[in-house]
């Protein structure tokens, strides 16, 4: 795991504790590390119309953007899933990560039992969509 993982995990756990998931009871938390050392949490936020649910990863990234950060400023993302099973980021989150994180940036998921899985953004979304320049 990364040198900063132990700092990011408690923030992701707090994000999961703050999640709004009254329909699925599937809380997820995330934390991101920015190049300047700032760490930002994210929580999933459900809606009665499930398609409008906002994932923790995208909420953390959106919070960074709202604070003035740009694509490439995010160094690492930690995802905490307080459930027994391990999960990976959804497709929408993978696409957003591919725009805001470097292709070699680490994405680490941890479940309730402490199992860990690590990917790079490129591994999560090979040949991801990007607008032509």
Question: What pLDDT digit, counting tens, does each position of 67-108 carry?
Answer: 999 999 999 999 999 999 999 999 999 999 999 999 999 999
DSSP labels, 67-111: TT--TT-EEEEEEEE-SSS-----HHHHHHHHHHEEEEEEEEEEE
Say whether 55 counts as a known binding-site residue: yes
Q: Which of 3, 57, 123, 133 is catalytic?
A: 57
Looking at residue 55, the DSSP 8-state letter turns out to be -
pLDDT tens digit sequence for 39-51: 999 999 999 988 8
Mean pLDDT value across residues 4-19: 97
Q: In this predicted structure, what is the pLDDT of residue 20? A: 98
Architecture of domain 3-124: 3-Layer(aba) Sandwich (3.40)
93 is in an annotated binding site: yes
Least confident of 33-37, 45-49, 57-61, 129-133: 129-133
Q: Which strand (E) or helix (H) includes residue 41?
A: strand 39-43
| pLDDT confidence band for 3 (50 / 70 / 90) | confident
- Domain segments of the chain as ranges: 3-124
| Residue 86 known to bind ligand | no
Verify whether residue 46 is a known catalytic residue. Answer: no
Cβ(99)–Cβ(71) under 8 Å? yes
């Amino acid at each position: 795991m990364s040198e900063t993982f132990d700092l990011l995990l408690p923030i992701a756990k707090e994000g999961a504790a703050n999640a709004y998931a009254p329909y699925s009871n599937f809380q997820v938390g995330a934390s991101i590390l920015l190049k300047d050392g700032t760490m930002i949490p994210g929580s999933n936020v459900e809606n009665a119309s499930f398609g409008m649910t906002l994932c923790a990863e995208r909420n953390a990234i959106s919070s960074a953007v709202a604070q003035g950060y740009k694509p490439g400023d995010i160094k690492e993302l930690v995802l905490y899933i307080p459930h027994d099973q391990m999960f990976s980021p959804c497709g929408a989150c993978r696409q957003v990560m591919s725009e805001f994180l470097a292709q070699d940036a680490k994405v680490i998921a941890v479940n309730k039992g402490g199992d860990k899985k690590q990917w790079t953004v490129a591994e999560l979304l090979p040949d991801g969509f990007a607008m032509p320049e």
